[in-house]
Amino acid sequence: MTQQAGKPGETGADALCDTLLANGVDVCFANPGTSEMHFVAALDRKQQMRCVLGLFEGVVTGAADGYARMAGKPAATLLHTGPGLANALANMHNARRANTPMVNVVGDHASYHLPYDAPLTSDIESLARPMSGHVRRIGSAADVSAATAESIAAASRAPGCVSTLILPADYAWGSAPQVAPVKAEVRAPAAADPGRVAAASKALKNGKKTVVLLSGTALRATALETAQAIADATGATLMAQQSNGRMERGAGRVQINRVPYPVDQAIKALEGFEQIILVGAKFPVIFFGYPGKPSTPVPEGCERITLADPSDDLPGALEALASEVGAGRPTLTTAPAIPDLTTGKLTPEAIAITLGHKLPENAIVCDESVTSGRDFFRFTFGSAPHDWLQVTGGAIGGGMPLATGAALACPDRKVINLQADGSAMYTNQALWTMAREELDICVVIFANRRYAILQGELKGVGAGEPGRNAQRMLDLDKPALDFVQIAKGMGVDAARAETAEGFTDLFERAMKTTGPFLIEAVI
């Protein structure tokens, strides 16, 4: 079969673009291939669509994640067949764990070409499902608009999900004239459940030691104030989930710690609690299983109470609970003083102190610092108000793409990417997109020149001193990565800091100028 193409402007691909735009999706992160050329041609006819090229698909979906976390609406992505989707999956996984809305458009072979098993053919659905909340294959050119609207609706439904739409090439090029773009029916977050509110309120008054675990929109400034008022009124402790999509924090805002990553610290942090109230958070779980250690840091016998699911109106649920427990105005404690700037040896702590002092107002911090940054919260409680975005799914390579997308969503805000060196390499191509789009991002590379997290884990295994094979799998020296050259090679200006004062100088300079800049902090 050799189906003919529709007229430019009247193809399935045009219907797809029109439907995206009609539903407010006007940014498309893209890494196209041949099967998407009619989609590219259609995008080219829509001046309202902002198309952003990533040189690797992990950049594309990671940027879509960062964009949506800050813009509060999904971006589209354009991916090329099964292998292109495969490269995109790790950051789709992170987005899935952050409940980020995202609409991935994956081009596939023309429907009649699939049985020929051409080289790029693969089972796209099987690849997409583990990292998508919604998967749909478009069934005809006439089906494009309805399928796209369904995909946007699924992505946008609270709390948000990764939606994957498979676009066979012949339905992209096929004729779909005079299709009115279908509006997506977006379901709003569910209102607080009075029974749950009553149960949580009752629990908070029973005298037991209680932790309120928050995530999602419960970590925005106003919701956190409501939570603080509840804590003030009831004596409960507030804590954030270990990893969160977005958290509003800094001077004048509620100070809240996360459940720590290391298993022993997590157990200690939750020790003695008799009740845990979940507000959009998952029940705490240890990141990995370890011999002789539990899977959850929550003490045995601790009662679990759910105030609200991630799909609920979390600020509303907190307000209802505050009213039920008779909470008043929250008390905002003064943030601990940030230690004085240091000089000499450059350490993660020295960097944290500089950040604490120098974070600009309204900054967006995208954190993939892994081991180096675990202790950064305590130095930045008193910093100028800012957003803190984490890599939520544990898939490495989220940080730089996340910063890319956040900067696109918020062109007037400074983005600071705290980036471990090992992790940076997985999606280093993000640097080029930062340069191409002239994004206002300062990338701080924590160059410890090893997989420090794994060296710690290997010690935990009790394997003794690492031998040649272990060293060669966990060290990143020989040769050392030169991030200054790598960044410049992709068009991003960069410099190296080897002392605390050198780092502070470079960081201050980066905060005063706009555009992408990378600091390789040798620690």
> Token pair of 477, please?
């020296």
Interatomic CA distance for residues 22 and 30, integer angstroms: 19
DSSP letters of 296-323? --SPTT-EEEEEE-TTB-HHHHHHHHHH
- The residue from 14, 106, 166, 173 that contacts a second copy (CB under 8 A) is 173
How far apart are CB 491 and a second copy at their closest, in Å?
3
How far apart are CB 199 and a second copy at their closest, in Å?
24
Site for a second copy in 489-508 (CB under 8 A): 489-491
First and final CA of the chain: distance in angstroms?
Answer: 61
How far apart are CB 270 and a second copy at their closest, in Å?
15
Nearer CB in complex with a second copy: 188/473: 473
- The residue from 68, 408, 453, 506 that contacts a second copy (CB under 8 A) is 453
- The residue from 24, 130, 139, 207 that contacts a second copy (CB under 8 A) is 130
Distances (CA, A) of 230 to 189, 195, 200, 224, 238: 22, 18, 11, 10, 9
Question: Does residue 169 interact with a second copy by CB under 8 A?
Answer: yes
Q: Which region, judged by CB under 8 A, interacts with a second copy, from 227-235, 348-356, 364-372, 480-488?
A: 480-488
Question: Does residue 148 interact with a second copy by CB under 8 A?
Answer: no
Question: Does residue 414 interact with a second copy by CB under 8 A?
Answer: no
Nearer CB in complex with a second copy: 236/487: 487
Question: Does residue 420 interact with a second copy by CB under 8 A?
Answer: no
Binding track, positions 274-313, relative to a second copy; x by CB under 8 A: --------x--xxxxxxxxxxxx-----------------
Q: What is the 3-state secondary structure (H, E, C) of 211-226?
A: EEEECHHHHCHHHHHH
Nearer CB in complex with a second copy: 189/393: 393
> Token pair of 310, please?
């991630």
Nearer CB in complex with a second copy: 126/333: 126
DSSP letters of 353-370? HHHHHHPPTTEEEEEE-G
- The residue from 202, 326, 473, 509 that contacts a second copy (CB under 8 A) is 473
- The residue from 126, 257, 333, 343 that contacts a second copy (CB under 8 A) is 126
Interatomic CA distance for residues 257 and 515, integer angstroms: 31
How far apart are CB 295 and a second copy at their closest, in Å?
5
DSSP letters of 228-273? HHHHHHH-PEEEE-SS-S-EEESTTS---PBPPSSHHHHHHHTTT-
- Asked if residues 473 and 447 have their Cβ atoms less than 8 Å apart, the reply is no
- The residue from 389, 452, 486, 510 that contacts a second copy (CB under 8 A) is 486
Site for a second copy in 361-400 (CB under 8 A): 392-397
Question: Does residue 457 interact with a second copy by CB under 8 A?
Answer: yes
Q: Which region, judged by CB under 8 A, interacts with a second copy, from 194-202, 225-233, 376-384, 447-455?
A: 447-455
How far apart are CB 376 and a second copy at their closest, in Å?
19
Neighbours of 249 (CB within 10 A): 23
Nearest residue to 56 (alpha-carbon basis) of 25, 27, 90: 90
Question: Does residue 47 interact with a second copy by CB under 8 A?
Answer: yes
Interatomic CA distance for residues 460 and 301, integer angstroms: 28
Interatomic CA distance for residues 190 and 450, integer angstroms: 45
| Count of residues that interact with a second copy, criterion CB under 8 A | 120
Question: Does residue 483 interact with a second copy by CB under 8 A?
Answer: yes
Question: Does residue 429 interact with a second copy by CB under 8 A?
Answer: yes
Upper half-sphere CA count for residue 182 (Cβ side, 13 Å): 16
Question: Does residue 231 interact with a second copy by CB under 8 A?
Answer: no
